[in-house]
Structure formats: C-alpha cells, structure tokens
Chains A and B, each alone.
Chain A
C-alpha cells in the first residue's frame, strides 16, 4: 500500500473573494436570475427543437438512437428546470431513467413516444397557462408508463 501524502494547496479563489469591493450576495443572485430570465426564449426554442429531434428519432420501432435521445432528454431536463418548467423537467428526467434502464436493447419505442407526447402537451399554450392541466398531463403519463411496463412482453411480441 502506498503511503498517502496530505497537503493544503493554496486556493486563490478564497483570497479573491475577500478582496475589498465586489457586490452583495443578494445582488449577485438577483443579477443571475435576471440573466436566466433574459435567456428564457432561447431556452424554449432549444427545448422545442430537442423534443422534435427525440420525436423524429423515436419514429423507428427498432429504436437504435438511445444514446442521442438520452443526451437530448438530459439537456431538456436541465434547461427546463433552469427556467422553472418543473413538470417538463420531470418528464425529461423520467425519460432519462427509462433510456438508461433500457440497456443495450434500448427502451420501448412506445414508451419514448408517450414521453415525447407528454412533453409536447406541456409545451402547448393551454398547459403553459394551467397548473391543473400540467398535473393532469403528468398523471396521464404515469398511468401510460405503468401500463406499458405491465404489458412490456406484449410490446416485444
């Protein structure tokens, strides 16, 4: 077994933070939130493009683009969460779970389509305006996902 060496490196960041001047924590957080708000439209456009791409990739029943779909849904999860589209972020996270659990065989194309449809529904103007509708979309998604999981053998057949 190697002998471990312990040491304390100089952390310049620590010294810089303490220098005179700067801004307050409250001001920093307000400015950061404003910066995110300023990018909201760009985020929405990017999210819509990614949903469309997953939808196109998921058309194929012999689903082979799992890796790309996982990357896209992971990005939607992060981007939607950042602009506080919580339900959309949740659906994208569920899709990540599904795709990563699918292994080499890939996830069921039907299950992916159900998630894509849910994300599209959540991006509709009606769902954007109604929390009740968004919760209903999530509830329906969970019902369909459970149904697909129960009938996974039928799906394969």
Chain B
C-alpha cells in the first residue's frame, strides 16, 4: 500500500485520531482532511491540559500535534506521554510543525515522536506520513531519559567514544580487510537489487 498507487485501498473508518493545535482553523482543516481519508472519530484539542486529561483516561490510534502550542508545550506533552507508562504511551505520534529551526527538529526527535511533518499541510503528505507511521518498523527504545522510536535509523554504529548498548554493536575496532573489495557485479550477483517504494 503506497500513496503513489491511487488504486490502493485504505480503511481508516475505525481509526481514532487525536488532533492538538493552538489554531482553530488548523484543527478544523486537519480534521476535514482526515474525514476525507475516511476517519470517523477525530478528537480535537486546542490546549495541552485537556489533551493530557484525555490521555490519562483513554487512548487513540494516532496523535497529530503541533508542538508549538502554548510556547512549545507540545514537545513536553509527547515526552510525558512516552514516559507515562499507560496504554497510550506507545501510540504513534506525528508532529506537525510550522516555521521551525534545526533545533526544533532535534527537539521533536528527542521528544519521542515518530515523524515530523512540515506545514503547510498537504493531504498527500499527511496520508503518506500516516502510512509511514502505521508501517514503521523501528523498535521502541526505553533508555531512561528517552522513550520512543529508535532514533538511530542510519545504522552508523554507536556514538564515538561509547561502546554501544546493542548486542550486535561491535566492541572492538574492526581490523583491516583480508580480501579484495567486491566489484559491483559481484555484489549484484549476491544480492538482487530491489526497487524502493515509499
């Protein structure tokens, strides 16, 4: 199922989605876009207090939140949700950001959100990210300070100077290669190249 296949079927009729945004217009239009996608249950919140009250008692299938609400309280809201330990703690979260700086993106990543979507919100992008979230294959990580999807999606190994915490992290420096490098043809003969679809 991909957003570039217009004939693919999606069924969001039973999905319960939470929207949190300080702007009533943004809330309204995002809710209308989701209804266009076939979502029947959309819970809207224009403040963090009501959002937190809801999350203490109930859960949803997706949280879409503008982190800039109430001066950036949305980031803390996501982080607190991840640390809450309740049934909602692992729910997928999309951060929808307007004007952002690089530091905001880092903060978004470190809050425990699954993905960041930049405003202005286009329906095709929102649907694509919704499908990404649903099919996100990253494990969740709980390392005390951070709880959320694994942030190390580039597989660059453990941070410099650290031994790493994964079983598969190499504990000692790699030695020199003992065989000549494989040519591209030899690599292709071992692994069939696959077309990547998003």
Asked if A17 contacts B120 (CB within 8 A), the reply is no
CA separation between A153 and B2, bound complex, in Å? 54
Q: Interface residues of B, CB < 8 Å — how many?
A: 60
Q: Interface residues of A, CB < 8 Å — how many?
A: 56
The smallest C-beta distance from A67 to any residue of chain B, in angstroms, reads: 8
Residues of B within 8 A of A (CB): 1-3, 5-15, 22-23, 25-26, 28-29, 32-33, 35-38, 61-62, 68, 71, 90, 92, 98-99, 101, 119-124, 126-127, 130-131, 133-136, 139-145, 150, 162, 165-166
| A78 touching B5 in the complex, CB below 8 Å, given contacts A7-B140, A25-B127, A42-B25 | no
Asked if B26 contacts A78 (CB within 8 A), the reply is yes
Asked if B124 contacts A29 (CB within 8 A), the reply is yes
Contact pattern, A 25-69, Cβ under 8 Å of B = 1, otherwise 0:
110111111111011001100100000000000000000000100
Sample 16 A-B pairs with CB under 8 A, ordered by A number: A2-B143, A4-B143, A4-B166, A7-B140, A13-B92, A18-B1, A22-B9, A22-B13, A23-B11, A36-B32, A36-B33, A75-B25, A77-B120, A78-B119, A81-B119, A93-B99
Asked if A4 contacts B165 (CB within 8 A), the reply is yes
Number of A-B residue pairs having CB atoms within 8 Å of each other in the complex: 177
Asked if A17 contacts B10 (CB within 8 A), the reply is yes
Q: Which residues of A contact B13 (CB under 8 A)?
A: 21-22
Interface centre among B120, B126, B133, B141 (most CB of A within 10 A): B120
| A23 touching B121 in the complex, CB below 8 Å, given contacts A2-B143, A7-B140, A16-B14 | no
Asked if B6 contacts A32 (CB within 8 A), the reply is no
Asked if B143 contacts A100 (CB within 8 A), the reply is no
Q: Which residues of A contact B90 (CB under 8 A)?
A: 9-10
Chain B's closest residue to A73 (CB) is B99
Chain B's closest residue to A94 (CB) is B99
The smallest C-beta distance from B7 to any residue of chain A, in angstroms, reads: 5
Chain A's closest residue to B15 (CB) is A16
Chain B's closest residue to A86 (CB) is B120
Q: Is A79 an interface residue (CB 8 A)?
A: yes
Q: Which residues of B contact A151 (CB under 8 A)?
A: none
CA separation between A75 and B98, bound complex, in Å? 8
Question: Which residue of B62, B98, B143 contacts A78 across the interface (Cβ within 8 Å)?
Answer: B98
Q: Is A14 an interface residue (CB 8 A)?
A: yes
Asked if A26 contacts B150 (CB within 8 A), the reply is no
| A1 touching B165 in the complex, CB below 8 Å, given contacts A8-B140, A17-B131, A97-B99 | yes
Asked if B11 contacts A26 (CB within 8 A), the reply is no
Contact pattern, A 65-93, Cβ under 8 Å of B = 1, otherwise 0:
00100110111011111100000010001
Q: Which residues of B contact A10 (CB under 8 A)?
A: 90
| A81 touching B120 in the complex, CB below 8 Å, given contacts A32-B36, A35-B36 | yes
